[in-house]
Amino acid sequence: MYKSLVIKVGTNVLTRPDGRLDITNISHLVDQIAALKQAGISLVLVSSGAVGAGRELLQVREGTEEVARRQVQSAVGQVRLMEIYRQLFHNHGLLCAQVLATKGDFRDDLHADNMLNCFRALLLDEVVPVVNENDVVAVSELMFTDNDELAGLVARMLKVDALVILSSVDGLYDGPPENPASRLIVDVAASDQSVLGFVQQKKTSFGRGGMATKLRIAAKTATAGIPVLLGNGRTPDILNKLTEGNWPGTTVS
């Protein structure tokens, strides 16, 4: 069984089709994370959703430049998202902590050391770190491709047993996921570039990344000795499968 994990949850797992937060599914995910903690697993949650939460609360005035729009919505939405997590984890007797990062934090040795020490201290105290990109200050070269990249960096920094990436699809298919004839590819070798030919170029509605990004991050992370499990965050009790050894998605190793 895994002893340490980084779990990344994408925007389309946390929001409904209209872009509003899906509190029911967020609550279900927190229930599962609490169960993993109860089983003695050390974990970090990388969560998208701040911009979506802000979009729901604030209608940014017309004519606002796109980067500024994202900054404002994230700044407003991050407060609401963390309050939801705080309350849901509190219901399980757990504390959570907000950790905001930019790509620059991983390039600078001092920043990286400070972040690693913070993670270690939080995990030692059984606090659940909730990590997100710092959209308020992250622009252009400081931005991650998406939170998949951030999750991969955190997983490699902490040298965890596995990285779990939850999106709105079950994993990598050999054709369009919506096509009944397409089959799920259960295992992918980190060095297998041929699977990129199966990737659909379109992205889900509100997310910034896509399967191509996930596979690129997964290959890099798996090459570092950390298997990556891709799965559907809307599958009931999917995180419970981690303790059962029968992952229902794609594993990159």
Query: Is the Cβ–Cβ distance between 184 and 170 less than 8 Å?
Result: yes
**Distance, CA of 81 to CA of 48 (rounded, Å):** 9
Helices (H) and strands (E) counted in the chain, each on its own, are 8, 8
108 labelled as ligand-binding? no
Query: Is the Cβ–Cβ distance between 160 and 5 less than 8 Å?
Result: yes
* Residues facing residue 162 across a β-bridge: 5
Look up residue 191 and give its amino acid.
Answer: S
12 labelled as ligand-binding? no
117 labelled as ligand-binding? no
Q: Count CA atoms closer than 13 A to 138's CA, side-chain side.
A: 21
37 labelled as ligand-binding? no
Classified as helix, coil or strand, 9 is: strand
Token couple for 190: 């980190």
Query: Is the Cβ–Cβ distance between 198 and 177 less than 8 Å?
Result: no
Binding site as annotated, residues? 8, 48, 135, 147
Binding site as annotated, residues for ATP? 8
Binding site as annotated, residues for substrate? 48, 135, 147
